[in-house]
Structure 1
Amino acid sequence: MRRDAFMKSLLALAAVSSVPLSARAAGTVKMMIPANPGGGWDSTGRALGKSLIDAKVADTVVYDNKGGAAGALGLSQFINGAKGDPNALMVMGSVMVGGIITGKPPVNLSQGTPLARLTSEYNVFVLPANSPFKTMKDVVEQLKKDPGSVKWGGGSRGSTEHIAAAMIAREVGVDPAKINYVAFRGGGEATAAILGGNVTVGGSGYSEFAEYITTGKMRPIGVTSGTRVKGIDVPTLKEQGINVEIGNWRGVYGGPGITAEQRKALIDGLLKATRHKSWLDAMEKNGWTPAWMAGDEFSTFVDNEFASLRATMVKSGMI
């Protein structure tokens, strides 16, 4: 091949690789999942990746799990490694917002590119099947007697289940600062701790506990929704006289410094993927509630969430 023809070929390849996947409907998506395998972010990221492929937005998806610090470790890696990359995505959500408020990491979501909110989900609290406690009332009574004896297991500090545990304590007259909260780096670790009886009560999204609840290995004792969730036969905390309601949403960010055109192309690709049967099946299977919101509207929502969660944490005695 002549040198000029060879150089033209290289330039053509470079041009193709710089075009967002959603624009050319082919290529590789790099999906950062800022948690260990087995949790809500992991299941969301992998379901989204499958849908991107099935909807022909991408040819392949490469996953990178990086757990720790409520997603801050994964966020840091993403911010530093995905600058200007139109094919990089990161799963995130309210847990990361809470973790940033409590942990104050050196990186922040404002350094990334907000793309879309995907789902909303409420937390459910469960007991191991062999627990001496049977209801949330039993847990609350023990909490009042000896706050430190009740081990609450869940996601990282600042997660919605952590905030909910502090809110429960406050509502029943216990100092939230005295709760014994055990944070795990991923849903898999938390599930193993609950099943092994290493924590008193566990909290997470219903989808993460569904199979264990169905098989009787976990006993659900309360959900953080305002009213009963369709398809989930678990009493709300409010029904049990505990005025606590808090939701958990998940979304997607793009890399820092991508152009407005690249951002729009990614949002269009995500919309196409979330309308595909593959994603709709995952939504139904996991009991996720659709909560699509994109672009500047989503960016404003995240800013408001920071303010709202911070106020809730202050009120609950967490910060």
Structure 2
Amino acid sequence: MPLSRRSFLAGALAVPALAAVSACAGTVVQPGDLSRLRLMAPASTGGGWDTTARTLQSVIQRTGIARNVQVFNVEGAGGTIGLGQLAREDDDALLMMMGLVMVGAIDTNDSSTRLTDVTPIARLIGEAEVIVVPEDSPYDDLAAFVDAWRADPRGTPIAGGSAGGTDQVLAGLLALEADVDAAQINYIAYSGGGESLSALLGSQVAAGIGGTADYAEQVRAGRLKALAVSTAERTDQVDDVPTIIEAGFDVEVTNWRGLMARPGMSDQAREDLIQLVVDAHATDEWQQEIETRGWIDQFTTGEEYGAFLAEEETRVREVLTQIGLIS
């Protein structure tokens, strides 16, 4: 029976390294040595990937799963700069946080590195998306908004995050399900939730799509009306808001986040990383973070996660092609 992660780490701290340090700085030369770990957030500080990485860092260190965890940021191109860097790494003690946004960014940025070029470790969590309209909007439910959108897609601008990201994917999926001319969608991409919020509060757009964290406060204050959430079930992040499925449209999207590792690693090195994340997921501390932050537990690992990634790549590519963002 293989040693548990904590037993292994205890042994790793007690036994001297058996191999010389590689000339390549940071390379792990003793398989399974996860006494120190690096977590890459391929985006700026304060965003979803960075927050999730730093939350995982805190849990791993507080629970003693690993003694030294460093989070660092590699910004640019929807995470594809970081993805390219990961594909050139040779460190078995490196994990990269990523998510649905990166799936679309690979195609919209014509990235030479694909998800199949790196190693899937685990899907961690998801967050609900919410469709909102200004408080003085004539639309009180999603069906009424979709009717107007279908009649005049160009004249019904929708605010959201980066091009090809989760918000635009959701807009595209809803348009296809609701027989809206997807090629005519007037989607306005903003670099941050604050900019899209200003556009909504100023009634510069007809609707907005974003994470519940972006809009929940304004919904609670009555400055925005929430029409629907994108998850299979309602979320307490925005009270009494129906799902898109409840509104009559068979669309479900979660803004999920997961972990990838370098290519070409041994089976044992991959299993060591998976076990570390399994141990972190099982802690009371991680489960408390999920509850506190309103995350959805979507934990899957290894081959199951890899199969999920392949399905998401196909789904996102089809949507982005239909709306004319890629060819």
In 1, distance between residues paired with 2:195 and 2:81?
17
What is the match of residue 105 of structure 2? 99
1:250-309 deviation line (CA, Å, top 9, x unaligned) = 210012333322222221211222222332122112222212211222222222332343
In 2, distance between residues paired with 1:184 and 1:58?
39
Pair 1:221–1:298, CA change in 2 (3 A):
same
2:80 aligned residue (72, 83, 100):
72
Structure 1 length-normalised TM: 0.79
Segments of structure 2 that go 5 or more residues without pairing to the other structure are 1-15
Is contact 1:127-1:219 (8 Å) kept?
A: yes
In 1, distance between residues paired with 2:271 and 2:135?
48
Amino acid at match of 1:49: Q
Is contact 2:39-2:69 (8 Å) kept?
A: no
What is the match of residue 3 of structure 1? none
Is contact 1:36-1:187 (8 Å) kept?
A: no
Amino acid at match of 1:71: G
- The worse-fitting range, judged by mean Cα deviation, of 289-298 and 54-63 is 54-63
Is 1:26 equivalent to 2:32 in the alignment? no
What is the match of residue 226 of structure 2? 220
Q: Alpha-carbon deviation of 1:229?
A: 4.1
Structure number with the bigger relative contact order (C-alpha 8 A, sep ≥ 6) is 1
Amino acid at match of 2:94: A
Which of the two has greater helix per residue? 1
Pair 1:174–1:301, CA change in 2 (3 A):
closer
In 1, distance between residues paired with 2:283 and 2:222?
33
- The worse-fitting range, judged by mean Cα deviation, of 285-294 and 195-204 is 195-204
Is contact 1:38-1:187 (8 Å) kept?
A: no
In 2, distance between residues paired with 1:39 and 1:132?
32
2:290 aligned residue (283, 287, 293):
283
In 2, distance between residues paired with 1:135 and 1:38?
32
Segments of structure 1 that go 5 or more residues without pairing to the other structure are 1-8
In 2, distance between residues paired with 1:188 and 1:269?
36
Amino acid at match of 1:76: G
- The worse-fitting range, judged by mean Cα deviation, of 243-252 and 135-144 is 135-144
Pair 1:298–1:244, CA change in 2 (3 A):
closer
Is contact 1:136-1:221 (8 Å) kept?
A: yes
Is contact 2:53-2:71 (8 Å) kept?
A: no
What is the match of residue 48 of structure 1? 56
1:13-37 deviation line (CA, Å, top 9, x unaligned) = 837965499955633x332223334
1:101-141 deviation line (CA, Å, top 9, x unaligned) = 44431111122111111123332112344656544345334
Is contact 2:44-2:50 (8 Å) kept?
A: yes
In 1, distance between residues paired with 2:211 and 2:30?
31
Is contact 2:162-2:189 (8 Å) kept?
A: yes
Is contact 2:157-2:188 (8 Å) kept?
A: yes
In 2, distance between residues paired with 1:212 and 1:13?
56
Is 1:170 equivalent to 2:176 in the alignment? yes
- The worse-fitting range, judged by mean Cα deviation, of 204-213 and 49-58 is 204-213
Pair 1:219–1:23, CA change in 2 (3 A):
farther
What is the match of residue 203 of structure 1? 209
Identity in percent: 34
Residues 100-115 of structure 1 mapped to structure 2, 5 A cutoff: 100-115=106-121
Q: Alpha-carbon deviation of 1:47?
A: 1.5
1:240 aligned residue (231, 242, 247):
247
In 1, distance between residues paired with 2:182 and 2:319?
12
1:17-76 deviation line (CA, Å, top 9, x unaligned) = 65499955633x3322233344432332222222222222242322205143x3223322
Amino acid at match of 2:159: G
Structure 2 length-normalised TM: 0.78
What is the match of residue 300 of structure 1? 307
1:226-255 deviation line (CA, Å, top 9, x unaligned) = 443466521122332333333332210012
Is contact 2:183-2:322 (8 Å) kept?
A: no
In 2, distance between residues paired with 1:94 and 1:234?
23
- The worse-fitting range, judged by mean Cα deviation, of 147-156 and 280-289 is 147-156
Amino acid at match of 2:87: I
Amino acid at match of 1:63: F
Is contact 1:124-1:204 (8 Å) kept?
A: yes
Is the partner of 1:267 in helix, strand or coil?
A: helix
Amino acid at match of 1:106: S
Q: Cα RMSD over matched residues?
A: 3.4
